[in-house]
Each structure stands twice: as structure tokens, then as C-alpha cells.
């Protein structure tokens, strides 16, 4: 097996869905500067998500999807001074 093939910072990370405050913990090597205290009292790095399986319309059956990133771009392209 090749040396240094796998990342060295593989650890437990909390992923938090910001649309409904659902959180889950799993192993990851994603870089983040923020931390959160989990239910067990230990502090873990946190990654904030805009959407997860608990808020995605495909999994929930609801067709309401909040577009947080595209609204500003649509506004700027529509009302951009030429």
C-alpha cells in the first residue's frame, strides 16, 4: 500500500443542517474552524449545511426548497446597472 495515501486528520465531525437545526456526527477530514459541544459533552468541529436529508424535498415529500445562495445573484443580474 502507498504511504501517505489517506488523510491524517480523519476525526469525528458534527454536521448541522441550518434550515431545521438537525445535527449528526460522523467521521470526516473536512477543514473547519468552528466547534460545537455535542450531546456527550465533548467539543467537536462543526460543518454547517444548507440542506440535508431531513430538509431536502426528495426525502421529506415537501416541495418547498429555500434558495439562499441564488436569490442575491438573481437580484443583481436583474437590476444590474448597464
| CA–CA gap between residue 62 and residue 69 (Å, rounded) | 20
Each residue's pLDDT, cut to its tens digit, for the chain (82 residues) gives: 688 887 888 899 999 988 788 889 999 999 899 999 999 999 999 998 877 767 665 555 666 555 566 666 777 777 776 5
CA nearest to 13, candidates 29, 22, 21: 29
Cβ proximity of 30 and 22 under 8 Å: no
Provide the 3-class DSSP secondary structure of residue 44. strand
CA nearest to 12, candidates 22, 21, 35: 35
Amino acid at each position: 500500500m502507498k504511504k501517505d495515501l489517506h488523510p491524517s486528520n480523519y476525526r469525528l465531525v458534527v454536521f448541522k443542517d441550518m434550515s431545521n437545526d438537525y445535527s449528526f456526527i460522523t467521521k470526516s477530514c473536512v477543514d473547519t474552524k468552528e466547534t460545537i459541544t455535542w450531546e456527550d459533552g465533548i467539543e467537536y468541529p462543526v460543518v454547517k449545511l444548507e440542506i440535508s436529508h431531513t430538509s431536502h424535498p426528495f426525502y421529506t415529500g415537501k416541495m418547498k426548497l429555500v434558495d439562499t445562495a441564488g436569490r442575491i445573484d438573481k437580484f443583481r443580474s436583474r437590476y444590474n446597472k448597464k
